[in-house]
Amino acid sequence: MVDQARAARLAKRISSIVAAAIGSGEIKDPRLHYVTITDARVSGDLHDATLFYTVMGQTLDVEPDYEGAAAALAKATGHLRSLVGAGTGVRFTPTLAFQLDTVPDAARHMEELVAKARANDEMVARRAAEATPAGDADPYRDDESER
């Protein structure tokens, strides 16, 4: 039987262990300097863990090294799995798989689309404010009934 709450707790613990190992410099690979663990998911049987990561660099005007980060994480997987096993105390240490997190890029794209839509809405509102009616102010007025 799958215990989703236990899987979620284990995923959170694995995420914090791996993030601490990368952030503290325990893994001495310079390619991991700008890597951030964003999320973790553990399978229902607690045998497989997928860790999502991002690579910073666009804010620093440097192109992120996605391939280098993926290679460094693949190289450090064994050591990170040992740390996870020691830090979690579960009977079977889950295998670790790393996947590039695309959520920040998708969020950035959505923000750009929303900004574009707002600019178009403002342009339409300005045109509507400056517009005059094409016909009479009251198109249903009947001149003959007013006589």
For the chain, the structural domain boundaries read 4-100, 102-131
- In tens, the pLDDT along 91-141 reads 899 999 999 988 877 888 999 999 999 999 999 999 988 888 777 767 676
How far apart are alpha carbons 23 and 34 in whole angstroms?
9
Q: How confident is the model at residue 70 (pLDDT cuts 50, 70, 90)?
A: very high
What stretches of the chain show up as alpha helix (H) in DSSP? Answer: 4-23, 66-88, 103-130
Q: How confident is the model at residue 59 (pLDDT cuts 50, 70, 90)?
A: low
Architecture of domain 4-100: 2-Layer Sandwich (3.30)
Nearest to 51 by CA among 77, 85, 86: 77
pTM assigned to the model: 0.70
